[in-house]
Structure 1
Amino acid sequence: MESLDYNDAAAICSETMLTAAESGSHDVVLEIVETFPLAVHFRNSLDQNFLHLAIKNRCENVFNLLNMTSMCRYQYANAIDNDGNSILHLAARLALFHKLNLVSGAALHMQREIQWFQETSKFVSSYTRGLQNYSGKTVEMIFTEEHRELKIDGETWMKDTANSCSIAAALIVTVVFVAAITVPGGNQSDTGYPMLYESSAFTIFAVSDAVSLFTSFTSLLMFLSILTSRYAEHDFLYALPKRLSIGLFTLFLSILFMMIAFSSTLYLVFGRKKAWVLLPVGALTCLPISSFVLLQYTLLRDVISSTYGGGVFGKQSIRTRTFP
């Protein structure tokens, strides 16, 4: 194909190239461009190149090929289609439904959209970023209009999640605080020290109860901060997911240490004379902990991965040759 001119090559493989970019087949795109570098300038009937199509359809594997390019990438990254849209205008539009559902929760959908917008903005010039399309809309205007309903849904989802978890955190705070001031076994009448303070089980109880109190209170504060947030668009990128991940993680720790404190109390009361009590207590202690992990692990994993992980844009192609 190296001996072909641009028109001949476009007639042969332009449709394949653009269809591959639209469907996310980055291997096909890379193969064509390595064979005929000018294929990056192929356009469809709307005058959109492969980047327009990849971003419009949220095909991160094709988009990530930009990280393998030379400086000439800005020649096609700043291209404009028939409607005056740059790649950033298309990144500002709402993604297709099946692409949004790659992560759980409307708030994480909003976060993913902001990540796409910010990542795309790195590859366009400041002049292109400020351009209006032929409808007179800037990229910021398009993003706000297209994501208005998703932003409302994300706010509702985040508040519902925080409200439910804050109830659990408040209950744990109440329980472990009461347990701290009513120690098992009572206090000595002359010194006021707990009757069982020399026992190792009592030490485990005291430490676990204190850790549970501190972590549950931290979790409660995180969820309250979510409920009182202003919910600006950029808050969905980092601030709100960070608070949610901290809140969920500390809530898990509070449940864990509350169960340890409870088990220690039962051992102090029954364990010495009724050792058979320890086995069912230990088994039942794992029940609320495992239930929380099974119910909330997926959400916590998605929040941490999308906020602190490499994300969809951190993945590089396994190919070692340079994209033109």
Structure 2
Amino acid sequence: MSPEDLVKKNAEMETPAMVFTKEHAHLVKEGEQWMKTTSEACSITAALIVTIVFAAAITVPGGNNQEKGIPLFKKEIAFTVFAVCDAISLFSGASALLVFLSILTTRFAEMDFLVSLPRRLIIGLCALFLSTASMMVAFCAILFLAFCDQRPWMLAPIGGLACMPIAVIVTLQLPLLVDLFKSTYIPIFGKQSDIASGKFISNHTTWAYEL
């Protein structure tokens, strides 16, 4: 529409933006409900992961040296892998939990659904995936160290079983992430920053109008 039409009012003294907001109010409510349900479910999962990996971090597998308190498996490569992956899982899980909590406490305004809320959900889902994958790698490392007597042939079945939950979460969450990324960063009406700020630039003329 032309710039003049953006500020014109109808018989009820409503601008096009006001009419659009009124006619799509139910979509805002539905989007808010879906966003809250998704964030609550993901925050519960993130909280469980954080609890598990924190307990694993303070309960050192194999025990400690009674005199110095140093872990007995400190020099083993598998123990180093476990420590690094457990720390990554803890930090990324805590970050995902905080992101989902920030979604639950937001105001859910109409413009928030354009960039802010989808961006937070993308960050939270990516952090949750990283936390889950790191947790599985840490579990496999300590399982190989503590129960497999360092037999290399056991790495294949352990690694294969560890890939199952990772493949499940990727299969289920990847389509959602792709849709969120496309709708947030590949808009069909131009740059999201221009739309969010009320700035519309014509492709056929040299003028620009800013609300």
What is the DSSP-based 3-state SS (H/G/I as helix, E as strand, rest coil) of the residue aligned with 1:282? helix
Give ranges in structure 1 of 5+ residues lacking alignment: 1-76, 79-123, 316-321
Match of 1:311 among 187, 192, 203: 187
Counterpart Cα distance in 2 of 1:159 and 1:139: 29
C-alpha deviations, 1:65-108, integer Å up to 9, x for none? xxxxxxxxxxxx42xxxxxxxxxxxxxxxxxxxxxxxxxxxxxx
1:41-190 residue pairs with structure 2 within 5 A? 77-78=1-2, 124=3, 127-190=4-67
The TM-score normalised by the length of structure 1 is: 0.57
Paired residue for 1:233? 110
SS at the partner of 1:136?
Answer: coil
1:35-92: CA deviation from partner (whole Å, max 9, x where unpaired)? xxxxxxxxxxxxxxxxxxxxxxxxxxxxxxxxxxxxxxxxxx42xxxxxxxxxxxxxx
Alpha-carbon shift at residue 238 of structure 1 (Å): 1.1
273 and 217 in structure 1: CA distance in 2 versus 1, 3 angstrom threshold? closer
C-alpha distance in structure 1 between counterparts of 2:69 and 2:165, whole Å: 34
CA-based RMSD of the aligned residues comes to 1.9
Q: Is the 8 A contact 2:114 2:184 kept in 1?
A: yes
Amino acid at match of 2:188: V
Give the aligned residue type for 2:16: V
What pairs with 1:237-276 in structure 2 (closer than 5 Å)?
237-272=114-149, 274-276=151-153
Q: Percent identity?
A: 51
Q: Give the Å deviation of 1:134.
A: 3.4
1:120-147, Cα deviation, whole Å (9 max, x unpaired): xxxx2xx432210234321232022111
Change (3 A) 1:288 1:298: same
Uncovered stretches (5+) of structure 2, i.e. residues with no partner: 192-202, 206-211
Match of 1:289 among 151, 166, 191: 166
Please say which of residues 204-213 and 265-274 is displaced more in the overlay. 265-274
Distance 2:106 2:71 in 1: 43
Partners of 1:183 and 1:255 lie apart in 2 by 20
Following the alignment from structure 2 to structure 1, what is the Cα–Cα distance between the partners of residues 170 and 81? 23
TM-superposed CA distance for 1:273, in Å, is: 5.2
Q: Is the 8 A contact 1:165 1:223 kept in 2?
A: yes
Give the drift of 1:277.
Answer: 3.6
Displacement of 1:278 = 2.7
Query: Are the equivalent residues in 2 in contact too, given 1:270–1:277 (CA < 8 A)?
Result: no
Contact 1:132 1:139 in 2 (8 A): yes
Distance 2:119 2:18 in 1: 27
The amino acid across from 2:135 in the alignment is M
Are 2:53 and 2:89, in contact at CA under 8 Å, matched by a contact in 1? yes
Distance 1:273 1:132, change over 3 A: closer
8 A contact 2:92–2:131 mirrored in 1: yes
CA contact (8 A) 1:215 1:251 kept: yes
Deviations 1:190-245 (A, max 9, x none): 11111011111111110000000000000001111111111111111111111100
What one-letter code is carried by the residue in structure 1 that aligns with 2:23?
A: E
**Alpha-carbon contact 1:176-1:209 (below 8 Å) kept:** yes
TM-score normalised to the size of structure 2? 0.86
Structure 1 residue 276: Cα displacement: 4.7
Query: Does the 8 Å CA contact 1:184/1:268 hold for their aligned counterparts?
Result: no
4+ residue runs over 4 A deviation: 273-276
Q: Distance in 2 between matches of 1:138 and 1:175?
A: 53
1:210 aligns with 2:87: yes
